[in-house]
Amino acid sequence: MGKAYSQDLRERVMAAVDAGTGAYAAASFFRVSVSYIYKALGRRQRTGETSARPWAGGPKPKLAAHDDALRAHVMSKPDATLAELQAWLIAEHDVKVSAGCLWKRLRHLGLTLKKSHCAPLNKIAPISPKPARSGDRANPISTRNVLSSLMKREQRQIWSGSMAGRPVVNAFSRLCPTAIG
């Protein structure tokens, strides 16, 4: 979000417009937008204010008032689904929210669903191997059967990363060895 203009700049813009400078000329001279000038003039005419208003922080979350009740309910029923929590909020607190809104609030509160505190931890070791870095060869295991244009079955290595500067071995290069370069 952008910053408010300084009070000094606000006063100079208003003084220039009051002196007869047009909004478009003042906007280009002071490097502000034309819409800012018209909004500031309208606000000064309505309320007499020319200073920047403090930022209010945006709208408050819809479920912020129900944090304690939501936390207590999730602690008492940790296996509740989002749909069940939505139904509970409507029945008990007369608040209708989407699943996304509810999930975002639960995440903000640090609450999770369907997790048992008594269950053993997940495996510590990674399940999938790390992806190959650019330029590295893939595992020799990662090969596949390929039918060449001569319909001869062969094994071809699947490479990860760039192939620049490496000889390519396939059925064509075996028939024509001068094509390898």
pLDDT in tens, 25-69: 999 999 999 999 999 999 999 998 888 888 777 788 888 899 999
Per-residue pLDDT for 166 more than 70? no
Q: What is the 3-class SS of 47-102, one letter each residue?
A: HCCCCCCCCCCCCCCCCHHHHHHHHHHHHHCCCCCHHHHHHHHHHHHCCCCCHHHH
Quick one: pLDDT at residue 127?
61
Nearest CA to 62 out of 92, 94, 95 is that of 95
Helical (H) or strand (E) element with 141: none
Distance CA 22, CA 20 (A): 6
Distance CA 43, CA 13 (A): 14
**Which is more confident, 136 or 147?**
136
Distance CA 81, CA 90 (A): 14
Quick one: pLDDT at residue 181?
47
**Which is more confident, 38 or 143?**
38
Residue 181, token pair as written in the block: 């370069």
The full set of domain ranges for the chain reads 7-47, 64-109, 143-180
Confidence of residue 120 (pLDDT cuts 50, 70, 90): low
What's the pTM? 0.40
Q: Contact, 69 vs 49, CB < 8 A?
A: no
Distance CA 180, CA 133 (A): 25
pLDDT, tens only, 85-111? 999 999 999 999 999 999 999 999 988
Give the contacts of 170 (CB within 8 A, at least 6 positions apart): 148, 154, 156
Mean pLDDT (the chain) is 77
- Gyration radius of the chain's alpha carbons: 33
Count CA atoms within 13 Å of residue 31 on its CB side: 2
Mean pLDDT (whole number) for 76-92: 90
